[in-house]
């Protein structure tokens, strides 16, 4: 299968591989996919109080397109805001990486990972706010 | 050393230059139609075809008259399976095969199933072997054919042909074996192994592509086939079509080299394969060798690298030509049915690579390939959330995944 130059670039020089502290209050973690399906993505964001995404990290088990999709996602997330990040659509990833039809599921997974990470962060925020409210 | 290094000899082999040399005159000088009886052009072509028939027969201990030319193993398998089914359907409409056979056996069987035949699909054990007791139990008076491959193309597991053949003979059932991967790599003897039909393909043993053969037993019992290709009545009426003289000459020469050089070649291949496996196992924690460690082709290693996905690994080792056990490159996203048939978990099946060495493989190439694979698996594991979880002591089988 021929990969686009952008997929090859992300595969060979993945951006933002790594791990953030999943227990930290300002970190949201999303893990999507399953080993038996051939891809698992872990995507993490570190968010400032004003909703700015300060950092994003990923780890992916999957084909080159899955790795590239998550690597690209972290690039887009860093410096963005949670509200903007929620608007990212898999079709944008497909377009940017020129993914063929059989690899569209990789972009879907990346979108799911972004949403899961944001949801996790929001839950933590809510819990935090609740705890603060109770204290007060 | 030239890159990419070719370690995909089970997919196809290059033509041996000695084979090409013998073929060349048949393109331009001795170009006659082997069926032309009226002039020397035809006679020399026919003589060359008959000589090649002897060479192939000798490889498998058959009589030359029992060798029938085809376009390759796929055609040979189709002819053996559909040809016997059609010919012996009065006896019964039951055939037996195994789930790890090549598609060129499975699909003709499925075709017959759709035509009202009954097919038994035998399972295999973790090593890829069928259970002979189960095979015996599956045979009935209605069974007309058992088709089990000599050696598996993905994992290299070798079937006990002699035992299977004896069982078939005892029960009066025809035995077909797809021996595509076998020539030059293991003993083939249609008499000792009680084989009634055998499929061969030249390009798997340093001959040209597009030519193969079907061995059809002539005595004890005489096997008859319904032709699947009608026409000029070539090949005793069983396979019409002008013979591919050049290709046949090449297959004959390839068979001769496979037979005469097999002993040394097996030793050399096994050393290379063992060297590769040892290096991979040493360099990569948790790597797993798939298939039967003992009953296995000497040139092939199927290895799973857990926590790394096969397609991404192949992409990373582009200086090494190998094939993936996972068919992720197709639209199906299904891991190999052979590996799944062994009972391998999907994630091991997704992480597997087939390395197959051959006549022109060097030690330096094997070392280079091992180094590249170790480097890339290590890199991809650093990127793998599964590897990270395992390092944290998490049992992956207990994780609730979101299947998609």
Q: Which residues of B touch A105 (CB under 8 A)?
A: 333, 404
The reply to whether residue B333 touches residue A37, judged by beta carbons under 8 angstroms, is yes
Q: Give dist(CA A33, CA B127) in Å, integer.
A: 29
Q: What is the mean pLDDT of residues B291-318?
A: 94
Catalytic residue of the set B47, B328, B386, B389? B328
Q: What is the pTM of this model?
A: 0.92
Nearest by Cα to B21 from B206, B184, B205, B185: B206
Q: Tell me whether B390 touches chain A (CB under 8 Å).
A: no
Q: How many helices (H) and strands (E) does chain A have?
A: 5, 3
Q: How much is the pLDDT for A38?
A: 86
Residue of B nearest to A101 (CA): B331
Q: Mean pLDDT over all residues of chain B?
A: 95
- A63 noted as active-site residue: no
Q: Tell me whether B345 touches chain A (CB under 8 Å).
A: yes
Instruction: Pull the structure tokens for residue B249.
Output: 């000459």
Catalytic residue of the set A32, A106, A114, A117? A106
Q: Which residue has the higher pLDDT, A89 or B311?
A: A89
Nearest by Cα to B201 from B51, B358, B49, B70: B70
Among A36, A42, A105, the residue with its CB nearest the CB of B346 is A36
Q: Tell me whether B309 touches chain A (CB under 8 Å).
A: yes
Helix (H), strand (E) at residue A41? strand A39-47
Q: How much is the pLDDT for B336?
A: 86
Predicted ipTM of the assembly: 0.93
B interface test, pick of A6, A35, A65, A105 with most B CB neighbours within 10 Å: A35
The reply to whether residue B388 touches residue A63, judged by beta carbons under 8 angstroms, is no
User: Residue B103 pLDDT more than 90?
Assistant: yes
Contact criterion met (CB below 8 Å) for B294 and B129: no
Q: Tell me whether B133 touches chain A (CB under 8 Å).
A: no
Q: Tell me whether B230 touches chain A (CB under 8 Å).
A: no
Counted across chains A and B, CB pairs separated by less than 8 A come out at 92
User: Residue A72 pLDDT more than 90?
Assistant: yes
What tens digit of pLDDT does each residue of A14-68 get?
999 999 999 999 999 999 999 888 899 999 999 999 999 999 999 999 999 999 9
- For residue B4, give the DSSP letter: S
Confidence at B403, pLDDT banded by 50, 70, 90: low
Among A14, A60, A102, the residue with its CB nearest the CB of B385 is A60
Q: Which residues of A touch B346 (CB under 8 A)?
A: 35-38
Contact criterion met (CB below 8 Å) for B113 and B135: no
Q: How far is B331 from chain A (nearest CA, A)?
A: 5
User: Residue A1 pLDDT more than 90?
Assistant: no
Confidence at B325, pLDDT banded by 50, 70, 90: low
3-state secondary structure string across B82-106: HHHHHHCCCCCCEEEEECCCCHHHH
């Amino acid at each position: 299968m021929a990969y686009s130059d952008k997929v090859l670039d992300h595969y060979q020089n993945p951006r933002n591989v790594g791990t953030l502290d999943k227990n930290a209050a300002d970190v949201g973690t999303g893990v999507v996919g399953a080993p038996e399906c051939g891809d698992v993505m872990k995507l993490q964001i570190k968010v400032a109080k004003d909703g700015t995404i300060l950092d994003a990290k990923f780890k992916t088990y999957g084909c080159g397109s899955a790795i590239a999709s998550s690597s690209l996602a972290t690039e887009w997330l860093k410096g963005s805001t949670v509200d903007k990040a929620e608007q990212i659509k898999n079709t944008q990833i497909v377009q940017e990486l020129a993914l063929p039809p059989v690899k569209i599921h990789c972009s879907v997974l990346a979108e799911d990972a972004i949403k899961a990470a944001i949801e996790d962060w929001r839950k933590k925020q809510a819990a935090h706010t609740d705890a603060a409210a109770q204290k007060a | 050393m030239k890159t990419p290094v070719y370690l995909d000899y089970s997919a196809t082999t290059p033509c041996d230059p000695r084979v090409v040399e013998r073929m060349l005159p048949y393109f331009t000088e001795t170009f006659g139609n082997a069926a032309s009886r009226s002039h020397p052009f035809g006679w020399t072509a026919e003589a060359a075809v008959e000589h090649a028939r002897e060479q192939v027969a000798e490889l498998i201990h058959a009589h030359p008259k029992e060798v029938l030319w085809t376009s390759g193993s796929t055609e040979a398998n189709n002819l053996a399976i559909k040809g016997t089914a059609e010919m012996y359907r009065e006896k019964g409409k039951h055939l037996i095969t195994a789930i790890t056979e090549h598609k060129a056996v499975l699909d003709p069987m499925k075709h017959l199933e759709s035509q009202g035949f009954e097919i038994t699909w035998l399972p295999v054990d973790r090593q890829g072997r069928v259970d002979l007791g189960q095979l015996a139990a599956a045979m009935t008076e209605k069974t007309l054919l058992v088709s089990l491959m000599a050696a598996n193309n993905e994992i290299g597991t070798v079937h006990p042909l002699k035992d299977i053949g004896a069982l078939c003979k005892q029960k009066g059932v025809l035995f077909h074996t797809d021996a595509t991967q076998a020539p030059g790599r293991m003993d083939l003897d249609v008499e000792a192994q009680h084989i009634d039909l055998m499929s061969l393909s030249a390009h798997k043993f340093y001959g040209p592509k597009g030519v193969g053969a079907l061995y059809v037993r002539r005595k004890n019992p005489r096997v008859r086939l319904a032709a699947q290709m009608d026409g000029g009545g070539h090949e005793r009426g069983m396979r019409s079509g002008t013979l591919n003289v050049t290709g046949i000459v090449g297959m004959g020469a390839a068979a001769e080299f496979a037979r005469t050089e097999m002993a040394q070649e097996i030793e050399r291949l096994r050393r290379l394969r063992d060297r590769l496996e040892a290096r991979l196992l040493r360099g990569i924690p948790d790597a797993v060798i798939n298939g039967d460690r003992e009953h296995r082709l000497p040139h092939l290693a199927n290895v799973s690298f857990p926590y790394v996905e096969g397609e991404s690994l192949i992409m990373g080792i582009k200086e090494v030509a190998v094939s993936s056990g996972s068919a992720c490159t197709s639209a199906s996203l299904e891991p190999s049915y052979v590996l799944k048939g062994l009972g391998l978990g999907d994630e091991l099946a997704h992480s597997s690579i087939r390395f197959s060495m051959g006549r022109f493989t060097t030690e330096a190439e094997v070392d280079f390939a091992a180094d590249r694979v170790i480097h890339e698996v290590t890199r991809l594991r650093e990127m793998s959330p599964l590897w990270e979880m395992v390092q944290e002591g998490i049992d992956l089988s207990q994780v609730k995944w979101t299947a998609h």
